[in-house]
Amino acid sequence: METASKNIRDIASNNSNNPKHKHLPLEHRGLFIPERHAIMGNSPSLKPRTINQWLDNLPLANETQTAISLTTFIHQTNHIAYSLAKRFKALEVLQPTIQRVLRHLKNSPYNHQWPLTKRIQQQLAITTSLLESVSIGYQICVVDLLTQTANPSRRALATCLQRSLQALGEILLSTYHKYSAPTPTIWYSIHQLYLIARSFSCKDRSVKNIEPLTPAYSSVAFEYKKQILLKLANPTRLLNSQVTDLETQAEIWAHDLELEIISDDTSSSMFVIDPLSDSSPMRYDLALQNTLDPLYVIPLDTLIKRLLGILQAGKSGIKIPAVSGVSPTGTLIKLLLTNWLQKEKRTYKRTQQQVNLQATIGLLNSFNFVSQNNRLSNQKSTSTTLMLMDKNDYPLTSLAQSSFYGEITNNDSLDQPLGASQASEKIHLHHCKVLNVSANGYCLQRKDKIPTNIQIGDIIALYEPDNIHSPQSSIGVVRWLHYEASTGITFGVQVLSPMAQALRTAFTKNGHNTLLPGLGLPKIPALQQPASLLTSAQRYNIGDHIQINKGRQKINITLSERIECHQGFDRFKYKIQID
C-alpha cells in the first residue's frame, strides 16, 4: 500500500505548484478497507464451482432476500484474508447475479414519487449496503494488486478500479433520488480511485461492463467524469425522472469531457475538483473561500455551447439528430445552463430570532389559502393598508392597476373556497422555519416524523403572519429539497409573485362547464415579468379560449404562451378578448 500511496502522492505533487501537496501524510492517501483475519475452518469457499452452486440455491424470484444474502456473503469475505486471485474471481462470478438483483431493486425506487414509502426506503438501504460491500471488495483487490505484485496488471487494476467506482456512483445516484446527503468519505474514495488509475496510466483502459443495460465498455475516467457531470447538475433541484434522463445524457457527455490542470488563467466562475479531500465538484471561488487547493478544472465551455445550440435550434424549429437516439429535453437544458452559467446568489441573513412562515402546498390548497387571506386583508382599514403599501419595497399600488388583474381584485365573490364539498375540507397548513432569505425566495425547513408530501415543482402559498409589511400571500414554486431524518425537510422556494388573486377558470367538457382553481399573478415591470395565470396541469393549451368568473360577469381570455409547466401546474401568459 505504501507504493500506491507514494505514486498517488507524486502525481498530486506534479500537478500542483502549491508546496503543501508535496508532503502529504501517507495515511491520508489510502483506501478505506477493513482489517482481515486468517482463513478458518468455517470460512466460506471462494471456488467458482462452489459459488455457482450457492447461487443456484438463492431465491432469485425474491430480489430483496437475494440481495441480503449476497451482501452478507461479500461482507463476510471482505473480512477474511483470501488470496487476490480467489477474491477477484469470486467477485466476477457474482457480478451477473449482483447486477440482475440491483436492476430489479432500483427499478421501483427510481420510478417512485417522493416521499418514498418505508418499503421503498428499505429497498434503497439494502441496495446501498450491497453496493458498498461490492465496492470494498474490489478496493481490497486494488490494494493487494499494488502491494503483493511488483508490476501489477493494468488490465486487472483497471477492472477493479472501474467496478469499485461504478458501485460508488450507483450509491451517489440513489442519494440523488432520495434527496439525501451522500455517505461521508464517498467523494474521497471516488477521487482516490481515479488518482490510482491516473498514476498507473490505466484510467482510459476499456473495461467490459457486465450489466446489459449499460454501455458495453467503460473505463475509470468515464465513470469518474460521469459522476462529476451528475453532481454538477445539482440533482437536488431535479425531479426523479429528470435525474434518470440526466444519467443517460451524462454517459454521452462524459466521453467529450477532459479534466485540465489548474492554472493562473482559471476563472473564479469555473468548477474545480480537489481530489485530496472529501469534497464534490465546486465553484473555484467557493473552493478558495474554503481554503481548499483544487487540482483539476472541469471545462464546460464546449458542453455549454452544445446545449445552447440545441436550445436555440429548438426555438427556431430546427431538428437536431439525437446522439445515440437520446436528446435532452428543453427543461433539462435550461436547468443545467441556469446552474452552470449563473454565479452564486447573494444571501440576506435574517436576525437571530427565527422567522416562521405559514405555507400550504398544491394549487387547490393555495387557491383556498389565498382566498382566506385576501378576505381577511379586506377587513382591515383601508388607510392602514395604503400606508403599508406605500412603505413596501414592491410597487403594490401599480401591480393592481393592470387591466386584467385590476378588474378581478375587486371581486369579493372570488374570496371564497372552491366548491361546497371542498369548502368543508381543512387547508393543510405547514409552519415552516425560515433558514435563509435570498433576493429570489426562501430556504425553509419543516421537521416531521413523517416526510411531508412535497415534490419539486409544487406550487406553494406563503404567508408571514408576524410581518405587517407583507399582508398578502406570496406564491412560489418548490425548486429543490433535501431530507434527513435528524433535521427533517429543507427546501428552497422561488417566489413568483409577492401577491396573487384566487380565480375560477371555466373548463368545458362534454357540454358541461366545470370551475377549476387558478391563481392570477400580476405584472411586475421592474422584473420584466408579465401578468400570468396559474392553472391545473395539462388542462389547457396555448390558444385555448377560457372564461374567468367575475361575479355575474365573465372575462374571456386567450392563452398566448406557456411560460412554465410542471406535474402540478401550468403557467400561461394571456390576452384579454375584446368583444
Residue 450 included in any domain = yes
Q: For 519-564, what is each residue's pLDDT tens digit?
A: 888 888 877 888 888 888 878 888 888 887 655 667 888 888 888 8
Cα–Cα dist 503/428, whole Å:
20
Contact yes or no for 437/474 (Cβ under 8 A):
no
To which residue does cell 420584466 refer? 528
Cα–Cα dist 93/350, whole Å:
57
Residue 93 identity (one-letter amino acid): V
Tell me whether strands 207-208 and 217-218 are parallel, antiparallel or unpaired.
antiparallel
Residue 109's pLDDT band, with cuts at 50, 70 and 90, is low
Selection from 361, 360, 367, 408 nearest residue 518 by Cα? 367
Q: For 171-216, what is each residue's pLDDT tens digit?
A: 998 888 888 888 888 999 999 999 899 888 999 999 998 887 777 8
The confidence score (pLDDT) of residue 423 equals 40
The confidence score (pLDDT) of residue 421 equals 39
Q: For 204-261, what is each residue's pLDDT tens digit?
A: 999 998 887 777 889 999 999 999 988 888 887 777 777 877 888 888 888 878 887 7
Tell me the three-class secondary structure of 223-279, residue by residue.
HHHHHHHHHHCCHHHCCHHHHHHHHHHHHHHHHHCCCEECCCCCCCCCEEECCCCCC
Residue 320 included in any domain = no
Residue 411's pLDDT band, with cuts at 50, 70 and 90, is very low
Cα dihedral 416, 419, 422, 424 sign: positive
C-alpha pair distances (Å), 286 with each of 187, 210, 258, 267: 17, 39, 22, 12
The confidence score (pLDDT) of residue 193 equals 92
Domain endpoint, select from 164, 193, 218: 218
403's enclosing H/E stretch is helix 403-409
- What residues contact residue 439 under an 8 Å CB cut-off, 6+ apart? 345, 346, 348
Strand-pairing partners, residue 490, are: 445, 482
Q: For 4-42, what is each residue's pLDDT tens digit?
A: 333 333 433 333 333 333 332 333 346 888 889 999 888
Q: For 358-393, what is each residue's pLDDT tens digit?
A: 888 888 888 888 877 766 555 543 333 332 233 333
Q: What percent of the chain has pLDDT over 90?
A: 21
**181 in the Ramachandran plot: left (φ > 0), alpha (ψ -120 to 50) or beta?**
beta
Cα–Cα dist 341/265, whole Å:
18
pLDDT at 312 over 80: no
Residue 289 included in any domain = no
Higher pLDDT: 310 or 509? It is 310
Selection from 117, 119, 123 nearest residue 453 by Cα? 117
The confidence score (pLDDT) of residue 86 equals 94
pLDDT at 166 over 90: yes
Cα–Cα dist 192/170, whole Å:
17
**170 in the Ramachandran plot: left (φ > 0), alpha (ψ -120 to 50) or beta?**
alpha
Cα–Cα dist 370/399, whole Å:
17
- What residues contact residue 265 under an 8 Å CB cut-off, 6+ apart? none
Domain endpoint, select from 165, 188, 218: 218
Strand-pairing partners, residue 492, are: 443, 480
Question: Domain check: are 358 and 210 in the same one?
Answer: no
The confidence score (pLDDT) of residue 220 equals 94
Residue 118 included in any domain = yes
pLDDT at 154 over 70: yes
Cα–Cα dist 332/470, whole Å:
34
Q: Domain count of the chain?
A: 2
The confidence score (pLDDT) of residue 7 equals 38
Residue 39 included in any domain = no
3-state secondary structure of 40: coil
The confidence score (pLDDT) of residue 433 equals 86
Mean residue pLDDT of the chain comes to 74
Residue 473 included in any domain = yes
Q: What is the arithmetic mean of pLDDT over 475-482?
A: 89
Domain endpoint, select from 218, 238, 255: 218
Residue 356 included in any domain = yes
Domain span holding position 466: 348-576
Residue 399 included in any domain = yes
